[in-house]
Structure 1
Amino acid sequence: MDSTPILYNEFPLFLKRYFPYKVQKISLNAGFTCPNRDGFKGYGGCTYCNNQTFNPEYCRTEKSVTQQLEEGKVFFSHKYPEMKYLAYFQAYTNTYGELEALKRKYEEALTVPDVVGLVIGTRPDCMPDALLHYLEEMNKRTFLLVEYGIESTNDATLRRINRGHTYQDTVDAVERTAACGILTGGHVILGLPGETHDELVTQASVLSRLPLTTLKMHQLQLIRGTRMAHEYEQHPEDFQLFDVEEYIDLVVDYIEHLRPDLVLERFVSQSPKELLIAPDWGLKNYEFNHRVQKRMRQLGAYQGKKYEM
């Protein structure tokens, strides 16, 4: 019997626990903003953020949630006609708004044929108790994953990138959400200014103590039109932009220090070429994953190998 450990927990296998068929996330822009954009906590948003980098063509705020989902279905259904879908409220902060308005958008998504659940992307400081209670009830009737933008466990970094929340806010939100029985995900950016390889590996251990089910990570990307791009022009020495081999080494080290049961959704992000300043590796996600897997096999690495409780 083969006792070789799996390299890491992949997201598609995780979804198979819940669905006997293929499912695909369809990204939505439901017209939300963020508390560090509208003046509630600040202006300008996170220094790295340009939401054009993750909105597909069908994501336009003048289109209804239903229209965006139907167009997304057309986009994906050519390849897999039997596909089902998760409505992914992705752009900006998707729990930041008046409760009844939020409910209407979520419920609208669930009425679209072949939509079998929701993924809601948000900030750790934007989960009021009333909304969490509603999501707790929703979770009893459909698939639900709430994904928090953690970005860093270092408060100095969070201040520098104008996140407008602390790591303790993340701890509180993740613990409250998971305590309601809701699948809880996290998102981090590897390579933010001032964070070293060793500090990031320590971050993996810190995050592993949270009751997270899923984790996304990606490399820092400098995007045209952002405050961070301007900072890079002024002080490039403050930034460590990984080449692809350095980043693969970091990801492998990071994975080894993560809790063995965490589900890892992705390691890289691809921004549109016309917006991306650096780094530009010219690799698709699956190509990068194959290189990570090859490196892990070479090193005898696997998720949790160096994890300490």
Structure 2
Amino acid sequence: MESRPYQKEAVMTVKGTCNSREKIKDLKEKRYYDFNSYLRSCFGERVQKITVDTGLGCPNRDGRVSSGGCIYCNSRGSGNGLWEKGFSITDQIEQGRKAMMRRYKAKKFLVYFQSYTNTYTSCKHMKSMYDEALTVEGVVGMAIGTRPDCIDEEKIELIASYTPEYLVWLEYGVQSIHDATLERINRGHDFASVVNAVNLAKKYNINICAHIILGLPGENRSMMMETARRIGELGIDGVKLHLLYVVKGTLLEQMYKNGSYKCLSMNEYVELVCDFIAHLPEKVIIQRITGDPHADELAAPLWALDYHLVYNMIQDRLEERDIRQGDYF
């Protein structure tokens, strides 16, 4: 195994330049601040994410908050199910590392704790998970997916303890700033919980990414743009944009079948993403601009399966409209 790959001097580079658009070469040629540019400015080379399933649960499923979960979430909590199949954290990273090395020639990796809620356990267990992941060769940091109502100061302190040596991102499932929407999708927390969780992480200088879903039931363009503005005002560091697609076996699928929910068209989604990007501050790192559903579980819309088409349409539309990130902020 390698020695610690991400030393304090490198972190000073991350804190000092990675969040500053004007210091990144040729960034003005881009329409938005993308995650690959950010990572290259930090490490000087390609860095790939490796998704890990830790088998943790969710308080919105086990009865602490609710037993139903969010209306759009699958039974695996957006995970790959590898933990249930007996793959340890190390096994999953090694598997992903070899694949990324073959496909992208990547040598550095971020471990993404994605499925369910990765702070919904004890600090002792959290530390054991993170320590195991960060000892694998080539791993330079981690991204921790969680809910804003599953964080506290003790957990934040633990996460912050890794920042002197590793790149660390804390990813909050926000989805919308509108409490009526959060209740409608059975999210199990309000926007005030998001504000509190963001402020707590900022207190410890941890990078924060907000997950936002476009096309939620009952929301119009004006509401989604208000989400963009409020998220920008919170001072977060990154955003992931997701299309609300319908997964088989969910309550959302029932709503779709009975006509109470209608999916966005591809053109509607592309326009919303462009507008959302323009409403964000320039310094916010846009980590993702659409989702990537599994073909075997997608009920609708089928166009969501063509990730590259959607991605390219967004790039083209930004050019056609001549808009950039921050234009409307």
The equivalent position to 1:195 in structure 2, one of 192, 196, 219, is: 219
Other structure's SS at 1:30 match: coil
Which of 290, 297, 314 aligns to 1:268? It is 290
| Greater CA drift, 52-61 or 197-206 | 52-61
Code of the residue aligned with 1:287 in structure 2: it is: L
CA distance in 1, matches of 2:145, 2:290: 17
Does 1:124 pair with 2:148?
yes
SS in 1 for 2:302: coil
Aligned length: 304
Deviation at 1:52, TM superposition (A): 4.6
- Corresponding residue for residue 287 of structure 1: 309
CA gap 1:51/1:111 in 2 versus in 1, 3 angstroms:
farther
2:39 maps to which residue?
15
Q: Secondary structure at the match of 1:50?
A: coil
After superposition, the C-alpha distances for 1:126-176 in whole angstroms (9 at most, x for unaligned) are 112111111111111211000000011111111111111110100110111
**Counterpart position of 1:64:** 88
The normalised TM-score by structure 1 is: 0.93
179-188 vs 47-56, which moves further:
47-56
Q: Residue 153 of structure 1 aligns with which residue?
A: 177
* Alpha-carbon displacement from aligned partner over 1:7-51 (angstroms, at most 9, x marks no partner): 111110011222122111111110100111111111121111015
C-alpha distance after superposition, 1:168-191 (max 9, x if no partner): 100110111022111110101101
- Is 2:263 the counterpart of 1:241? yes
Paired with 2:256 and 2:311, the residues of 1 have a C-alpha distance of: 28
**How far apart are the structure 1 equivalents of 2:273 and 2:295?**
23
The aligned amino acid for 2:315 is Q
Contact 2:27 2:33 in 1 (8 A): no
| C-alpha contact (below 8 Å) 1:124/1:169 kept by paired residues | yes
Q: After superposition, what is the alpha-carbon deviation per residue over 1:91-111, rounded to whole angstroms, capped at 9, x for unaligned?
A: 000000011011101100011
| 2:322 counterpart residue number | 300
The residue type equivalent to 2:248 in the other structure is: R
- Secondary structure of the 2:195 match is helix
TM-score by length of 2: 0.87
1:71, CA displacement in angstroms? 1.0
* Structure 1 residue 80 displacement after superposition: 3.2
Task: Judge which range, 146-155 or 48-57, deviates more.
Answer: 48-57
C-alpha contact (below 8 Å) 1:5/1:302 kept by paired residues: no
Gaps of 5+ in 1: none
How far did residue 282 of structure 1 move? 5.5
Q: Which residue of 1 aligns with 2:229?
A: 205
Equivalent residue for 2:138, pick from 104, 114, 135: 114
Farther-moved stretch of structure 1 (145-154 vs 47-56):
47-56
Equivalent residues of 1:31, 1:61 under 8 A apart:
no
Quick one: which amino acid aligns to residue 120 of structure 2?
Answer: Y
Measured in 1, the distance between the counterparts of 2:304 and 2:242 equals 15
What is the aligned partner in structure 2 of residue 84 from structure 1? 108
Secondary structure class of the residue paired with 2:239: strand
Match of 1:28 in 2: 52
1:50 paired residue among 64, 67, 74: 74
- C-alpha deviation, 1:82, in angstroms: 4.3
Return 218-227 or 45-54, whichever deviates more.
Answer: 45-54
Q: Which residue is equivalent to 1:182? A: 206
Percent identical across equivalent pairs? Answer: 35
Work out which of the residue numbers 88, 94, 98 in structure 1 matches 2:118. 94
RMSD over aligned Cα, in angstroms? 1.9
- Against the structure 1 CA distance between its residues 58 and 232, is the aligned structure 2 distance closer, same or farther, given a 3 Å change threshold? same
